Amino acid sequence: MSPSPPFELVRDLPDPARHDRATAREQLDSRPGRPTLHDLRVGAERYRPNHGLRLAINTALAVDAPLLLTGDPGTGKTQVAYYLEWYFDSKVFAFQVRSTSTARDLKYDFDAVAYLRYAQQPEAKTEPKTRSDFLYKQALWQAYEYRAGTPILLIDEIDKAPRDFPNDLLLELDQHRFPHPFEAHEIRPCGQHPPVVVITSNAERRLPDAFLRRCVWHRIVLDDDLIDEAVRARVGEFPNLDARIREIAISHFKAIRRIEGLIKPPSTAELLTWLAVLSARGERLEVDLSPAELPCLGVLIKDADDLDKLNN
């Protein structure tokens, strides 16, 4: 039996009395995925930075300063690093900031537990080891050692980190060096130029002034031009949406974003996912639908109060 179209089970749940679990499992496993929507390297060559962003990139490159990108989640800030990787035929070394991240985590990780276990078990010492053998290089150190050109260092969502995190990176961002944790020398870039540093922030908290002073700042604004360009770049992802339905969907999306007081307005990430879902389901949209009548609304709206605003 050939599998049902994508999302068939979501649209029309089968009668439990006639449910065939083997067939359902085959349908689940054989559904086509949409990995390229979330694959930043695949999307890099389709990315089209606007004039303001290109100017900010060139400014950061000219003065060898980190490029700090802010803007709403889902506006393509992280994509910029992979666009530069593609454009310059380089390599991204990415560090995902977490609420517990320290500056050391960006540079290296030391397995103190394994080292202590080794030190306390003389019979296991078949080979002599030093503390450096339990040292694991992380994104900044790896970027410094990259020799095939100028790498891209991505520090993603820096506003998630504790306040000390940005301040503890001032030497690295300004002087491009940091001391080896166990040896009497410094780690510096091996290439002709230091890494191109791209830092993203969702502006959930203010960053320290000393950190901001070292950066070239640019805010990505989700305007109509950015929305239209994002869809044009990914239009091949929506094979079952003709131009008319696609334009109607975009019009509805923009109308939702114009609703006053939304806690979490949908961004380009939600729009592209919504278009992919509409395409997979073969949905036909009409111009006169109210926001609350749109199919698969949960892809766009992620807050109960926002949903109430659409229903009112």
CATH number of the domain residue 181 falls in: 3.40.50.300
Looking at per-residue pLDDT, the higher value among 282 and 81 belongs to 81
Q: In terms of domains, do 78 and 167 share one?
A: yes
pLDDT at 10 over 50: no
Q: In terms of domains, do 19 and 72 share one?
A: no
DSSP secondary structure, 79-111, as one string: HHHHHHHHHTT--EEEEE--TT--HHHHHEEE-
Q: Which residue has the tokens 């666009």?
A: 83
pLDDT bin (cut points 50, 70, 90) of residue 16 is low
Question: What pLDDT digit, counting tens, does each position of 57-97 carry?
Answer: 999 999 999 999 999 888 899 999 999 999 999 999 999 99
Q: How far is CA 168 from CA 26, 105, 158, in A?
A: 51, 11, 12
Phi, psi of 2 (to 5 degrees): -75, 145
Helix (H) or strand (E) holding 232: helix 224-233
Q: Are strands 152-156 and 196-201 parallel, antiparallel or unpaired?
A: parallel
Parent domain of 5: 1-32
Q: What is the mean pLDDT of residues 44-52?
A: 90
Q: How far apart are CA 230 and CA 269, in angstroms?
A: 9
Instruction: Give percent above pLDDT 70 in the chain.
Output: 91
Using the 3D structure, point to which of 156, 186, 219 is the last residue of a domain.
219
Contact 245, 285 (CB under 8 A): yes
Phi, psi of 38 (to 5 degrees): -115, 5
pLDDT at 1 over 60: no
Q: In terms of domains, do 250 and 289 share one?
A: yes
Q: In terms of domains, do 70 and 126 share one?
A: yes
Q: What is the pLDDT of residue 176?
A: 93
Q: What is the mean pLDDT of residues 118-135?
A: 77
Q: What is the pLDDT of residue 96?
A: 96
Q: Which residue has the tokens 């080794």?
A: 118
Token code pair at residue 285: 């949209």
Q: How far apart are CA 265 and CA 312, in angstroms?
A: 16
- The least confident of 22-31, 95-104, 151-160 is 22-31
Q: How far is CA 184 from CA 54, 171, 178, in A?
A: 41, 17, 11
Number of domains in the chain: 3
Q: What is the mean pLDDT of residues 114-125?
A: 76
Q: In terms of domains, do 148 and 189 share one?
A: yes
Q: In terms of domains, do 140 and 241 share one?
A: no
Token code pair at residue 144: 């410094």
Q: In terms of domains, do 177 and 56 share one?
A: yes
Q: In terms of domains, do 45 and 189 share one?
A: yes
Q: In terms of domains, do 195 and 211 share one?
A: yes
Q: What is the mean pLDDT of residues 130-137?
A: 89
Q: Are strands 178-179 and 186-187 parallel, antiparallel or unpaired?
A: antiparallel
- The pTM assigned to this predicted structure is 0.85
The angle at the Cα of 256, spanning 260 to 234, to the nearest 5 degrees, equals 140
- The DSSP code for 206 is P
Largest CA distance in the chain: 78
Q: What is the pLDDT of residue 6?
A: 43
Q: What is the mean pLDDT of residues 93-115?
A: 93
Q: What is the pLDDT of residue 64?
A: 93
Using the 3D structure, point to which of 155, 187, 219 is the last residue of a domain.
219
Q: In terms of domains, do 212 and 68 share one?
A: yes
What is the average pLDDT value for the chain, to the nearest integer?
A: 88
Q: What is the pLDDT of residue 186?
A: 94
Q: What is the pLDDT of residue 7?
A: 42
Q: In terms of domains, do 275 and 293 share one?
A: yes
Q: How far apart are CA 154 and CA 90, in angstroms?
A: 13
pLDDT at 13 over 60: no
Closest CA to 268 of 41, 37, 80: 37
Q: In terms of domains, do 196 and 131 share one?
A: yes
Contact 172, 127 (CB under 8 A): no
